Amino acid sequence: MVRSNVALNWIWHPKRGVFLFLGLIAWMAVGCSRSEKSDASSQDSELSTVVDEVETPPVAVADVVQPDPHLANWHSPETCFECHQDVYHKWETSHHALAQRDLDPERDNAAFEPKEILDETGQVYLVKNSEENPFTLEAVYKDGAKEPEPAVATAVIGEDPIRQFLIDFPGGRKQTHALTWDPHKGEWFNVFGDEERNEGDWGHWTQQGMNWNANCASCHMTDYSKNYDMYSSSYTSEWKHAGITCIQCHQNMDKHVQAYRGGDVSAHPVTTNAEIHMENCASCHSRREELTADQFKPGDRFHNHFRLVLPDQPGAYFVDGQAREENYVYGSFKLSRMAEKGVSCLDCHDPHTNQTILPVQNNQLCLRCHSTGLKEATLIDPVAHSRHAEGSVGNQCVSCHMPERVYMQRDPRRDHGFTSPDPHLSIEYGVPNACSTCHQDQTTEWARDHFQAWYGESDKRKQARQRAHVLAEVEDGDLQSSADLLDLHGKETNAYWKTTWLRLLAPFASEQTVLELGLQSMNEGSPIERDAAVRILSNRQDRLEDLQNALGDPSRQVRLQAADVLLPMFNSGLLAFQEWQIYAEASADRPAGALRRAQLAAMQNDANLARLLARQATAMDANNPHLLYDAAIILDRIGNVDSALSNLAKAKRLDPDLAMVYYAEGLLYAEKGDLAASAQALREAVEKDPSQDRWWYNLSIANFQQGDLETARASLQKAIDLRPDEAAYRDFMRNLAAE
C-alpha cells in the first residue's frame, strides 16, 4: 500500500464557524517569531562547515580545456581489462555484469519461440519473434480481442534464475513486463503469480510500480541518472553502461586511468575501510528510500543518500527479524550480531564473481570465524551445536541461520539476518522456522519441544521473543505503551535495532522519559539514531530549537528529516531546505514524492503545480483510496474543495469502510457551509470508527450548529469518555450546558 507522508489534522474555528485544515506541525509556523526565523536563516553560513558533500561549482566556459587523450574510454570495462585480466574474467559472467543487457538472439531466441502462453492468472499471451514482430509479447483478452499495442521487448534485466524483459513506453519510460522467463525450466511465468492486477493498480506492469527508470535502473546500470521532469512527468534517463561495471564500485577511476596511461604506474591508493566498501554494496543491496537525485558515488556514505527500511515498517520483516518482503540483504545484515562485530560483505563474498569465497555446504565459510574466534566469533562444533549428523542438510549452518525465502515466484534468496530458528515464535506469531521447513512431516509443536529440550532458555532468546511480541503489537496496531520499547532500547547495543525502537517511540514523545531519550539520541554518533530522534522531537511543541539545530547535522539524512518536519518554515536560503526540494522533486515520480512536493507548492501558493502533482500522484495508483484522500487534502489547501470532494467520493467507492474519508468529507462540507451534509458524513465516520475522540467532538459541533443540543451533548460525551483530559471538550460541554 502506498501512502504519502502528508500528516494532517483538522480543527473547528469557533469564530468563523468552519473547520480548518492544519498541518500536524503547523504550530511551528505559528510559534516561530521573526527573531527565530532570522536565527534559522543565519545557520546557512554555518552549514557549509558540517556538510561533507558540497556540490562543485560549474567550470566557467573560459576555463574548459581540451579532453585528455589519456582519459579516452576511461570508464569502459575493456579499459580495465588492459591491466586486470584475471579480475575481468571473473566479472564478465557474474550477476553484476549481466544485470542488464540488450536482447541477444543466442540467449533469448529460446524464450521467444512462437507459442501461446497461459499464465497463472488465466491471461493468454502470444509470443512472437519474426522480422515483423521481433521479441513480442501480445496479450489476448477473454473476449478474443488482442492488445492494441503489442509489447516489444528491447532489453533484459537479470540472468539467473529469472529474466525480465523491458518494454519501451512514451515519455522515455521503460516498463518491466509481468511475463517472465525461467531459463532453467525453459518456461514463461507471471512474476506476480496468480495475483490479478489491473491497469489502475500501482503494481500493474504498465504502471509506475513496475517502471524501470524509477525502480530498477539505478541498480542494473552503471553511472545512471534518472532525470525525471515532474512538469511533463517524463524521463531523459542516461547511463554509461548496461549492467554493473568496474566504475560503479571503484572510486576515482578516471584519475587512475589518467595516471597509468600518462606513465605513472605507482600503486593506486585503495580504500581499505570495510564499512565504506559495504556501504557501496548497500547502495543497491538494500531496501531504502533514495534521498538524492542519483548522486551516490563509490566512497560516499550510505546515510547521505538513503534512508534504510527497518522492522518498524510493518510487513517488511517478520517479527523475529527475518526478512519477509524483498529487503535486499543489507538491512537484515546490519540488524545482525555479525555486522555489529565488524563482519562485512567482503569477509564472505568475492566482489567480482559475487560468489562466496569458501563453500557453505560443508560449513567452511562459517567456520572461518567460528572455529578460530576471528572477529570475536563464538567457537562452534557444528555437529554438537546442530544435533544433526555431519554432512546432513541439518548440519549446515546456513540451513538454520540463513534460511531461504522465494521472491518473484522463483528466486530463492538466503536471509542475512543470521537469526536463530524458534518454533515457539511460529506458533505465537506465524513466523517461518527452519526446523519445520525441513521436518514437514512433523508438527510445529514437535519442533518446539525438541528445540526447547536442546537449547533451553537464554537471555538472548528471551530478548528475541520480547522483540517479536512488541513488533507483533505494532503490526496489529495494538501497541499502547512505551515501556517495552524503552526496555528493549536499553538492552540494545546494535544501532539499527536501537533505531527501530526509537522510531516506534515517536508517538510517545509527550512522556518525559521518551523526550530525554530523544534528546540523548540527538547526540549519538549514528546518523540513523539521530534521524529517529528528530521524529521523537517533532511530536513536541517545545523542541523547536533542537529541530532547527538538526538542519545543520553532518548527515544529509538527518537534515532532510528535520527539514521535512519544519517544512512550514521553508527557507530556500538554507542548505537543508534546498536538499529537501531536490529530494522531493527527484522522488516526484512516486505518489508520496509527488504529494510531498505538492505540499510545498500549496504552501507557496503555486496552485497550478500543486494541482498538477496531486493529479499525477493519483494517476500513478488510481485504485488507492488512501492516496485519493491525501490528494484531497492538497486540493483543499489550494481552495479546490469540489475537486477534493470528488477525490473522496472516488475513495469511498474503492473502500466504503475507510472511516477517515468520511471524516474528511464532513470537514470539507462544513467548509462549504453545508452543515447537514457535514453532520451526515461525520456520523458515518464515527459509526465506522468510534474510537476517534476528535471526530466525536467535531460531530458535536456540527450537531450544535444545526440546533440539535441533545445530540451535540451525547456526541461530546463520547469524546470526553475517550479523552477525559482534553480541556477543550470540557469547556464546550459547559457551553452546551448553559444553552
The whole-number average pLDDT for the span 167-195 is 97
- Residues with Cβ within 8 Å of residue 226, at least 6 apart in sequence: 213, 214, 217, 218, 235, 237, 293, 294, 586, 589
CA 38 – CA 670 distance, rounded (Å): 37
Residue 730 pLDDT > 60: yes
> pLDDT tens, 331-365?
999 999 999 999 999 999 999 999 999 999 999 99
Residues 686/702, Cβ–Cβ less than 8 Å? no
Q: How far, rounded to the nearest angstrom, does the alpha carbon of residue 583 sit from its chain's CA centroid?
A: 14
Confidence band (pLDDT; 50, 70, 90) for 4? very low
The whole-number average pLDDT for the span 297-319 is 96
pLDDT of residue 46: 33
With a pLDDT cut of 90, the percent of the chain lying above it is 84
> pLDDT tens, 382-399?
999 999 999 999 999 999
pLDDT of residue 31: 32
> pLDDT tens, 606-617?
999 999 999 999
Question: What count of residues does the chain have?
Answer: 739
Residue 154 pLDDT > 70: yes
CA 387 – CA 435 distance, rounded (Å): 12
Q: Are strands 164-168 and 115-118 parallel, antiparallel or unpaired?
A: unpaired
pLDDT of residue 267: 65
Q: H/E element holding 255?
A: helix 253-261
Rounded to 5°, angle at Cα 454 from 452 and 460? 65
Give the amino acid at 707: G
**What string of DSSP letters covers 4-21?**
----EEEEEETTTTEEEE
The whole-number average pLDDT for the span 293-311 is 96
Q: Are strands 174-176 and 179-182 parallel, antiparallel or unpaired?
A: unpaired
Q: Which residue has the cell 589518467?
A: 258
CA 205 – CA 535 distance, rounded (Å): 35
Residues 408/191, Cβ–Cβ less than 8 Å? yes
Residues 249/256, Cβ–Cβ less than 8 Å? no
Residue 17 pLDDT > 70: no
> pLDDT tens, 471-507?
999 999 999 999 999 999 999 999 999 999 999 999 9
CA 31 – CA 618 distance, rounded (Å): 33
Residue 683 pLDDT > 80: yes
Rounded to 5°, angle at Cα 594 from 639 and 287? 150
Cell (9 digits) for 190: 507471471
Nearest to 345 by CA among 337, 310, 354: 354
> pLDDT tens, 496-546?
999 999 999 999 999 999 999 999 999 988 999 999 999 999 999 999 999
CA distances from 87 to 14, 81, 220, 244, 246 (A): 73, 8, 20, 14, 10
Residues 472/319, Cβ–Cβ less than 8 Å? yes
Structure-model confidence comparison of residues 565 and 13, the more confident one: 565
CA dihedral over 187, 191, 193, 197, signed as positive or negative: negative
- Three-state SS for 666-684 is HHHHHHHCCHHHHHHHHHH
pLDDT of residue 467: 96
Nearest to 89 by CA among 431, 439, 366, 353: 353
> pLDDT tens, 37-70?
333 333 333 333 333 443 333 444 445 445 676 6
Q: H/E element holding 324?
A: none
Q: What are phi and psi of 11, to 5 degrees?
A: -135, 160
CA 513 – CA 487 distance, rounded (Å): 11
With a pLDDT cut of 70, the percent of the chain lying above it is 90
Q: What share of the chain is helix, strand, coil (3-state, %, to 5)?
A: 45, 10, 40
Residues 230/594, Cβ–Cβ less than 8 Å? yes
Confidence band (pLDDT; 50, 70, 90) for 149? confident
pLDDT of residue 29: 31
Residues 5/629, Cβ–Cβ less than 8 Å? no
> pLDDT tens, 242-298?
999 999 999 999 988 988 888 887 767 677 789 999 999 999 999 999 999 999 999
Count the Cβ atoms, other than its own, within 10 Å of residue 519: 15
Greatest alpha-carbon pair distance for the chain in Å reads 94
CA 78 – CA 247 distance, rounded (Å): 12
pLDDT of residue 269: 66
Q: How many CA atoms lie within 13 A of 280 on its CB side?
A: 19
pLDDT of residue 129: 95
Q: H/E element holding 426?
A: helix 423-429
- Which runs of E-coded beta strand occur in 293-374? 306-308
Q: How far, rounded to the nearest angstrom, does the alpha carbon of residue 411 sit from its chain's CA centroid?
A: 21
Residue 197 pLDDT > 70: yes
- Residues with Cβ within 8 Å of residue 89, at least 6 apart in sequence: none
Q: How far, rounded to the nearest angstrom, does the alpha carbon of residue 421 sit from its chain's CA centroid?
A: 27
Count the Cβ atoms, other than its own, within 10 Å of residue 465: 18
- pTM beyond cutoff 0.85: yes
CA 442 – CA 448 distance, rounded (Å): 11
70 burial level (CB within 10 Å; 0-12, 13-18, 19+): middle
- Residues with Cβ within 8 Å of residue 361, at least 6 apart in sequence: 396
Q: What are phi and psi of 412, to 5 degrees?
A: -75, 135
Q: What are phi and psi of 94, to 5 degrees?
A: -80, 165
Q: 27-31, 457-461, 588-592: which has the minimum mean pLDDT? A: 27-31
Residue 738 pLDDT > 90: no
Nearest to 107 by CA among 156, 153, 152: 156
What SS3 state is found at 237? coil
CA 298 – CA 601 distance, rounded (Å): 34
The b/e string for 286-308 (b: 16+ C-beta within 10 A; e otherwise) is: bbbbbbbbbbbebebbbbbbbbb
Q: Are strands 179-182 and 228-229 parallel, antiparallel or unpaired?
A: unpaired
Confidence band (pLDDT; 50, 70, 90) for 25? very low
**Is the link from the previous residue into 359 a cis peptide, with omega within 30 of 0?**
no
- Residues with Cβ within 8 Å of residue 78, at least 6 apart in sequence: none
Give the amino acid at 117: I
Dihedral in degrees, nearest 10, Cα atoms 300, 44, 547, 49: 40
Nearest to 120 by CA among 172, 188, 177: 188
Give the amino acid at 491: K
Give the amino acid at 16: R
